[in-house]
Structure 1
């Protein structure tokens, strides 16, 4: 039985693990490592420290299915809808560009519930705080080293972290990358931004007519959502929750600053935009150094195979395009490579 390591507990990694379990249950032993403290990747959901029922999505906000992907990825949408992971977005949205034939979905239990669903289906051994630093080929296997821990051997490795983090890996990766592959990977770029999650006390009320607002002509803030309203889960017992995303230029301008220094700037601007906001009980500030893919690997089918035997495969939205369906397509292409190899 092949021991397969998937690095990254985001959407691509979790779905790839799920596909391997369903299609090759007697041929693979699945292990997932993530350097974070929880699963989700850029589908991150944060909980109110005073009430676990109150959530905010700090990364991806909802799923937009084009007519093409609604059909080609229909089985995944139907599965998530059947399990109550997805629901149609019915809340009022201001400033969103409507695209013909697109269906928007929200997640009642937060965006990370999509990843958690596929991880549960995969049955993979899941380990957090596992930061991969280097890989070495040892005959027919990979010796994978991590920060502050023992190395382990695997028969196949899948890398789904952001492309700049793949390029930072030490060991044999530099020798395996061809000059053309390295050049292609170096063209990948990401936007950067900050996200605030604000949790309000049960008696608080946010008096706006929308659930989601795309803010125009503001140098700091680009997006605001009353997050529990967006998910149609308002409850007087929990109190409202809000998420704020900054503009990309603001994120880039303040990228190297500490979050503690940037958070007051965002809150000041938020109170100018929405005067009279109640005082939040708690605030979480997150810096997305790698937010959305601005430029993916050109002419890439969703994966890049760095080594065939033993398999070392890269996947994620950096190898196709930055949204739910890009990650699904990448997971399918990585799975194809592993299935043929293993």
Structure 2
């Protein structure tokens, strides 16, 4: 039985693991490693730091299905809707640009619920497994972790952001062709900060919208009443407010500690919403790699670094930075894995 390691428990990695299990069933041993303490990647649903049952989406906010993808990825949308994980966006979002024929969806249980859905049937999942190096050992890969120790696999799929791929020690960089290296070096990401403000259960946020795109701030680009936006039942919990900064602000403060940046964002938030009550807890997230601005040319879905033993890269940097881009990449990587295994 071939051992396959998928590095990254975000949408591309989780869907790739799920589809591989469905296609090859008991013919492969699938392992997923992620350096974080939970799954989701940029489809992250975070809990309140106070340990309560509050939650908020700090990453992706909703999913937009174009007419073409509604058709080509119909099975995925249908599966998630049938599982109650995806619903049409009904709440008002001020400043949202509607695309003709497109449908916007939200995740009542949080965006991370989609990732967890695909992981639930697919693989052995290991968190806090930070991959630092890849070394070719004959017909297998020896994969090293930051905490020490290593394991061998017959095939490795890398789905983390491209700069993190290029930082890996070992044989990877020597195996990349000049063209592949140039393509990876050309990938660019936006950066931003996100805040989640968690309020006590007796608080009611008096806002005329579920979310709003902000145009009159050099700091904040987007604010959302999280539960209202995702049609979620927040019974027993207080509301939560999600704030995303703009990309220029994110780049300006990228190398600063998030604890230094948080007060700047809060000051601007209370300028925009002066009647906002005080939260009982706050969580700040720095998204160094938020959305892909420049993908690998041609958006091939994947990049095969070595055919034997198989080493392949995937993720939105090889397609485009949204739900359907991750699906496209996962399908592309799946074809490579099936052909190899």
Q: Residue 95 of structure 1 aligns with which residue? A: 95
Q: Which has the higher mean CA deviation after the structures are superposed, 217-226 or 48-57?
A: 48-57
CA–CA separation in structure 2 for the residues paired with 1:58 and 1:24: 34
Q: What is the count of residue pairs matched by the alignment?
A: 341
Q: Residue 69 of structure 1 aligns with which residue? A: 69
Give 1:174 shift: 1.5
Q: Residue 80 of structure 1 aligns with which residue? A: 80
Q: Which has the higher mean CA deviation after the structures are superposed, 298-307 or 332-341?
A: 298-307
State the secondary structure of the residue aligned to 2:164: helix
Q: Within 5 Å, give how 1:1-342 maps onto structure 2.
A: 1-50=1-50, 52-122=52-122, 124-235=123-234, 237-342=236-341
State the secondary structure of the residue aligned to 1:85: coil
| Runs of at least 4 residues off by over 6 Å | none
Give 1:232 shift: 2.0
Give 1:175 shift: 1.3
**TM-score, normalised to structure 2's length?**
0.98
Output one character per residue of 1:33-74: Cα deviation in whole Å (capped at 9) or x when no partner.
000110000001011245654221000001110000010000
State the secondary structure of the residue aligned to 1:24: helix
Give 1:237 shift: 2.5
Give 1:236 shift: 5.3
CA–CA separation in structure 1 for the residues paired with 2:44 and 2:22: 25
State the secondary structure of the residue aligned to 2:39: coil
Q: Which has the higher mean CA deviation after the structures are superposed, 243-252 or 204-213?
A: 204-213
CA–CA separation in structure 2 for the residues paired with 1:289 and 1:221: 16
Structure 1: segments with no counterpart, 5+ residues: none
Output one character per residue of 1:69-103: Cα deviation in whole Å (capped at 9) or x when no partner.
01000000000000111111111110011100111
CA–CA separation in structure 1 for the residues paired with 2:46 and 2:147: 26
Output one character per residue of 1:137-187: Cα deviation in whole Å (capped at 9) or x when no partner.
111100001102211000000000000111111100121100110000000
CA–CA separation in structure 1 for the residues paired with 2:231 and 2:81: 16
**TM-score, normalised to structure 1's length?**
0.98
CA–CA separation in structure 2 for the residues paired with 1:222 and 1:341: 44
Indicate if the aligned counterparts of 1:87 and 1:108 stay in contact, CA closer than 8 A.
yes
Output one character per residue of 1:296-330: Cα deviation in whole Å (capped at 9) or x when no partner.
00113100000001110000000010000000000
Aligned-residue Cα RMSD (Å) equals 1.0
CA–CA separation in structure 2 for the residues paired with 1:40 and 1:237: 25
Give 1:235 shift: 3.6
Indicate if the aligned counterparts of 2:299 and 2:320 stay in contact, CA closer than 8 A.
no
Output one character per residue of 1:216-249: Cα deviation in whole Å (capped at 9) or x when no partner.
1310000000001111225452111110000000
Indicate if the aligned counterparts of 1:234 and 1:240 stay in contact, CA closer than 8 A.
no
CA–CA separation in structure 1 for the residues paired with 2:255 and 2:56: 24
Distance verdict in 2 for CA 1:51–1:150, change over 3 Å:
closer
